[in-house]
Amino acid sequence: MYTHGQRAIQTIADPATPLPTQTPAVKTAAQAYVIGRPIQIEMLCATITTAITVTAAILQLLYRPTPGSATGQTIVGSLTLPVTGSAIGQQVYKKVSPFEANPGGQLIWELTQASTAGACIPGIVVSETTELPANVAAMVASA
């Protein structure tokens, strides 16, 4: 069992290239992040960089135990970016059931519903675990 430590917000995107939220062609857009240590995801969030217009955008956070493979993929949660109340600089958030993500796994933000215009920098709020690397099979010490 993990012992959870301090909470931290982690951005799962390059702030210089926000995730676009518009047009059906962009619905396949995704940003990925490979996990480097055991974490417990507690909240999804997104900072608006271009206002959401006409239709709300919906992002989904996926966890893949093996990067690049959909085998064993799990939906961590969905985050709706509303048209009202999503001005540039605001952060939209949603609490999720605590989700354990292990080192070597991959987190992917995927756009499941497009807005007419908009962009955001997605992130998560996590509790870092104090589990020893030696107890996590996916972590191997380098020589």
CATH number of the domain encompassing residue 109 = 2.60.120.260
Structure tokens at 23: 């047009």
Residue 143 covered by a domain = no
- How many domains are there within the chain? 1
Residue 138 covered by a domain = no
Structure tokens at 140: 């191997």
In whole angstroms, what is the distance from residue 22 CA to residue 119 CA? 8
Percentage of the chain exceeding pLDDT 70? 71
Residue 136 covered by a domain = no
Residue 98 covered by a domain = yes
| Average pLDDT of the chain to the nearest whole number | 80
pLDDT in tens, 63-83: 999 888 889 999 999 999 999
Strand partners, 100: 40
Residue 137 covered by a domain = no
Using an 8 Å Cβ cutoff, are 118 and 48 in contact? yes
Query: What pTM, to 2 d.p., does this model score?
Result: 0.79
**Domain assignment of residue 102, given as a range:** 4-129
